[in-house]
Each structure stands twice: as structure tokens, then as C-alpha cells.
Structure 1
Amino acid sequence: MPERGPSIPHTTPDTTQDTTPKTSEPARAAGPETGPAVRALSATRRTGWLVTLVLGGLTATPPLAMDMYLPALPEVTRALAAPAATVQLTLTACLAGMALGQLVVGPMSDRWGRRRPLLSGLAVYVVATALCAVAPTVELLVAFRLAQGLAGAAAIVIARAVVRDLYDGVAMARFFSTLMLISGVAPVVAPLIGGQILRVTDWRGVFVVLTVVGVALGAVVWARLPETLPEAERHAGGVRDTLHAMRGLLADRAFTGYMLAGGFAFASLFAYIAASPFVIQEIYGASPQTFSLLFGLNSIGLVVVGQVNGKILVGRVRLDRVLGLGLLIVIAAATALLLMSLGVFGEVGLVPVAAALFVLMSAMGLSLPNTQALALMRVRTSAGSASALLGTSSFLIGAVASPLVGIAGEDTALPMAVVQLVAALVALAFFVGMCRPAAERPAGPPAGRAAGPAGPAKEGRES
């Protein structure tokens, strides 16, 4: 595979304020930096904005693959003569594919670098998406969506690993929030685009557009995204070494706690993604365009709160405190939805339900980026494997949550509210039980690294 563009060196920036990548080099005598090191650092800074946009596009792949398709779910149910619960399996299959795919692609990227697995995954993603557009039955659509998820996993898992290659500590948390601003545009515009596509064509046109987007993203990655993992830092081992690295990561109680807390928070989010088209359109009679508008507003809330997290809170307030606050808000919003679904407040219209969903989605901007950042702060090596574990757990738990919201049919919002509340409570339990003790005492050596004099990166100035 051609390696175009400069290779970005591994970086470890100042974890308090400066987020500009800095070249990490072996210790040497003090003196002015000259020669290749300066040129490499300059190249990194010149391409930083472009790399940020590319990474944002990669992290937007899952919301594009799922959210653009959401307004079409009721139409797919009618067109393929399939029950709503079966059509929701097309979402579950895509999620399960992304979960399992990350578990494979993440370690591959630790061994062979980031570019080759990423480009291969994007190529297969394009083919699978095109097949979704011509699927004649719901069973084949589920199968093709599974393949789409397996291949699309390369985008999100390698994007996270690239961030870990370039950043550390608070700088990494801020960069994740920046990515949320970019990738957060996808959930805003995807359902809107999907709703407009349904005005001129049927649900198959959604997958045609997704195919074109996949081709464009693959071309940009091939031309512009440099390799970020130096050959000297790649793992030469096979499956046994990969499993050993993952076992070491899971042995870190705090890493595992953040992983599970993030996974169950994501399940609460995905319960909304899977059920909201039916709740808003079928129960409250909204049009696909109205649903798309509400979905976009909720995504804007997530993006705005994510930017408050990255630009204002990170570096001033402990990340674990921000994470805990986010989970508590999710629990409060899910509780309100449950009470409304049970009729405690009498018959309610769309506005109160939409308001509660807006609060829940916005609070995800405090929860999701911080679980990822706090987990990856504990990792020095095997960033691909760590990213794979984070992504796999989130998508697998989300895939389990998806069919649960359809258990009682499409005429009640009660299953959605129950799944959201239970998932958020479990996320909080894992955070308090497994992560808080680590946050309150000096941490040991980072996961995936042998014990040594250097501890994990500090979070920076916090209160």
C-alpha cells in the first residue's frame, strides 16, 4: 500500500496546557534541536489541522452508518414486510460487527501500523455498504450490515489509536472533545440528509449515499493521513502476544472500570438511537423530517456540551468528577422518561419527551469522551489493543441493548426508558466501584507497560 504524506512521529505533549504534538525522542545532551527532528516536528504542526479533520471523519463513520439510516427504519419495515424488532436487528448487526471488527483491527494496527489496516477496512466497508443498497430481503440486509460494521470498525478503532500515538494526558482529553465537535456534525446532519433522501427516493438511496461517502473518505485517508506508529514501536508478536497485551490491560482495575462504564453509557445512548425513530414517528406521529430535526438538535446538545467539557472543564476540574456528573444527569433524564412512560404525569405530548431526550443526549458529552480519555491515560503501549477493547465493549453492550427496546413492540416508549435507566445505573456502579479508588490514590504503572520509575501521565491542573 503506498505510503503517501509525511510520517508523524510519536508525540507526548505537555499534559497541562499545550496540545501541540511534540516529538518524543531518546534522552540526549541539552542544546538546540536541528536537522531531521526539527523538520519532522514542523511537518507534524503543518499537517495537524488536516489530520484532525481526517480523524474526525473516521470517528464519524459509525454515526453516519447508523444515523442516516434511522429515518428509514419504518419504511424498511413496510418495504421488506418485516416486524420492527427484526428491522432493528439491522442496527444490532452493524453494532456487533463494529464491536468484533475492532477486536481484530486494533491489534493488527499495533503490528502493521495504522494505515494499511485502515485502508483495507475502508475498502471492504464501501463494498458492504453498496450491497446493503441492493439487499432484497431483511435477512440479507442484516448480513450485509454485519459486514459493513466489521469493516467500518477499522475507522473508529484506528482513529482512537492515532490520537493515543500523538497525545497524552489532558491534551488527549481535549483532543477527544475536538474530535467530538467534528464527528458530532455527523449525527446532526445524517438524519437530516436521510430524511431528505426519503423525499426523492426510498431507503436504498441512503446506502447509495453512504457508499459515495465511504469512497471519498478512503481517498482522503490514502492521500493525506500519514503513518503515526513508528516501526520501532510496532509489535512483532502474534496472537499469543496480542492476548497477553489485552490480558494485561484488563488486569488494570481502573482501565476495565472505565471501559465498562463507557460501554454501559453507550448502551443508554444506543437505546435512544434504536428506539427513537419508532417512539417519535409511530407513537407521537411525527414525520421523518421532524424526527430528523429533533435528532439533529439532540446531537447539537451533545456536541456543545462536549466542547464545554474540552475547552472549559478539562484541566480545571478532575475528569473523574466530570464523568460522574455526566452519568448522574443521564440517570435523572432517564428517570424522567420512565415516569412519563408509566403515565405518572398523565398523558404527555412530544415536547416533554423530546426535552428529556435532549438532556440525556447532551450529558453524553460529559460521559463518553472522558471514559475514553481516562482509560487511555493508563496505557503507554498497545494503544491499538486498548482502543479495540474500549470500542468492542461499547459496541457489544450497545448491540445487546438494541433488541431489548423492541421487546414490547413499537407502541410504547417504556422499554427505551427502562434500558436507558438500567444501563446508566450500571455505568455509574462500575465507575464508583472500580475507577474512583484508583482516582483517589496514586496510580501504579500504566496498563500494558512493565513496572518502572515512570508512572502514568498526570491529568494536569485540576481541582
Structure 2
Amino acid sequence: MTFSQFISLFRARRVLCYILASGFSFAGMFSFLSAGPFVYIELHGIPFDQFGLYFGFNIIFLIVMTSINGRYVRRFGALNMLRFGLTVQFLMGIFLILVVALNLHFYFLVVGVAMYVGGIAMITSNAMAVILEDYPHMAGTVSSLAGTIRFGVGALVGTAIAMLPAKTEWPMVSSMAFCVICAMSFLLLARRYK
């Protein structure tokens, strides 16, 4: 792993688009991790000792999406599975906005968040697979750059959410929607760079 490899990856706009798509998708989860306990416990009155049960729905959907990905990635390819995962997450971002805007039952929020988070299992792995198709000789460099950007964007988003005065679900769901819109935009932008 050399500095010149990092430079070449930063110059590869398509690669950078996939890394940023994955990074913003991941950052949406950080919005939930930062604001979710407040939303679930303080706003919706979930007992503190039951929060783990609700959080467990996210894990269930991560497992489901990982299983779906494992079953279909060979048939449809990593890029199509990446698109599918981001589409699911994008639809859930819109759904969460509607849940809050229409003041729907709390369980809709829980399911929407879980499906949003579940999409990450499909997005991050397939983004890496797509990048490594072009750069198999730089797997370590690609992985370290993608991980750094993913956690960096997530940390920035999580910090921003934590600093906002939270009195409603809006900071959490709007941040999640914003992140997936950014992720989808980078995925679409990647098409321009072959």
C-alpha cells in the first residue's frame, strides 16, 4: 500500500463515487445510532430495558438483506445488487419522512428504520465488489480508503445530529433521508465515469 495508490484512487472518479455512495449510506445509520435512543425512549416511551429488542429489528433486517444478497449476487451481479440495496434504502428514507409527517404509529418508524439499516449490508459489500473488479491489485488500499471515508462521513453526520436540539423525530429522519439522497446521487454520478 503506497501513497501513489491512494492518489490514483482519488483520481478515479467512478471509484470515488462508489466509495461516497457507500459512505453516505453508512452515515444514515449513524443518524439513527445518534438519535435513535432519544426518539425511541424519550419521544415514544419505550422502556430503557426494552430498547435492545427494538434495536434487534435492525439486526434481523441486516441478516435478511445479507441472505438475499448472498443468494442473488451471482445471478444479478454486484452492481445490480448495489442498486437494489440503495433503492430499498432510498424508499425507506422517503417512507420515514412520510411516517413522521403523517404522524403514523411508532411501529411504522421501527420497521422503516430497520429496513433502511438492513440495506447497508447489501450496499457496502457490493460497492466494494464493484470497485475491486477494476482494482483487484489494490484490495488493501481500496478497503482502507473506503473504511476511512465510510466512518469519517458517519462520524460527521452523527456529530451533527448529536449537536442539534432534538425535540422530535425530524432531525433523525431528515438526516437519514439526506444521507441516502447523497448516496443515490453518487451512484448515479458513477455512471458518467467509465
Pick one of 173, 183, 188 that aligns with 1:427. Answer: 183
For residues 286 and 319 of structure 1, what CA distance do their matches in structure 2 show? 38
Per the alignment, residue 372 of structure 1 pairs with 128
Question: CA offsets, 1:224-246, max 9 Å, x none?
Answer: xxxxxxxxxxxxxxxxxx22110
8 Å Cα contact 1:301-1:361 kept in structure 2: yes
For residues 431 and 316 of structure 1, what CA distance do their matches in structure 2 show? 21
- 1:382 deviates by 3.5
- 1:252 deviates by 2.0
For residues 162 and 116 of structure 2, what CA distance do their matches in structure 1 show? 20
Pick one of 85, 109, 118 that aligns with 1:326. Answer: 85
Question: CA offsets, 1:119-151, max 9 Å, x none?
Answer: xxxxxxxxxxxxxxxxxxxxxxxxxxxxxxxxx
SS in 1 for 2:134: coil
Q: Is it true that 1:396 corresponds to 2:152 in the alignment? A: yes
For residues 329 and 386 of structure 1, what CA distance do their matches in structure 2 show? 25
For residues 168 and 96 of structure 2, what CA distance do their matches in structure 1 show? 12
For residues 30 and 132 of structure 2, what CA distance do their matches in structure 1 show? 23
Question: CA offsets, 1:428-458, max 9 Å, x none?
Answer: 11111124653xxxxxxxxxxxxxxxxxxxx
| TM-score (structure 1 length as normaliser) | 0.40
Question: CA offsets, 1:383-415, max 9 Å, x none?
Answer: 322211101110110011102223442321101
For residues 132 and 48 of structure 2, what CA distance do their matches in structure 1 show? 38
Per the alignment, residue 141 of structure 2 pairs with 385
| TM-score (structure 2 length as normaliser) | 0.91
Pick one of 109, 114, 120 that aligns with 1:358. Answer: 114
In terms of Rg, which structure is larger? 1
Q: Which amino acid aligns with 1:283?
A: L
1:88-237 to structure 2, matched below 5 A, reads: 110=1
Per the alignment, residue 303 of structure 1 pairs with 63
Per the alignment, residue 417 of structure 1 pairs with 173
8 Å Cα contact 2:13-2:193 kept in structure 1: no
Q: Which amino acid aligns with 2:92?
A: A
Q: Which amino acid aligns with 1:382?
A: M
Q: Is it true that 1:314 corresponds to 2:73 in the alignment? A: yes
8 Å Cα contact 1:268-1:419 kept in structure 2: yes
SS in 2 for 1:400: helix
- 1:260 deviates by 0.8
Question: CA offsets, 1:191-218, max 9 Å, x none?
Answer: xxxxxxxxxxxxxxxxxxxxxxxxxxxx
Q: Is it true that 1:245 corresponds to 2:5 in the alignment? A: yes
Pick one of 327, 332, 340 that aligns with 2:99. Answer: 340
For residues 286 and 436 of structure 1, what CA distance do their matches in structure 2 show? 46
- 1:381 deviates by 2.8
SS in 2 for 1:348: coil
For residues 50 and 106 of structure 2, what CA distance do their matches in structure 1 show? 11
1:433-444 to structure 2, matched below 5 A, reads: 433-435=189-191, 437-438=193-194
Per the alignment, residue 24 of structure 2 pairs with 264
Sequence identity of aligned pairs in percent?
Answer: 27
Question: CA offsets, 1:34-74, max 9 Å, x none?
Answer: xxxxxxxxxxxxxxxxxxxxxxxxxxxxxxxxxxxxxxxxx
Structure number with the bigger relative contact order (C-alpha 8 A, sep ≥ 6) is 2
- 1:283 deviates by 0.7
Q: Is it true that 1:285 corresponds to 2:60 in the alignment? A: no
Pair 404,341 (structure 1): closer, same or farther in 2 beyond 3 Å: farther
- 1:341 deviates by 2.4
SS in 2 for 1:377: helix
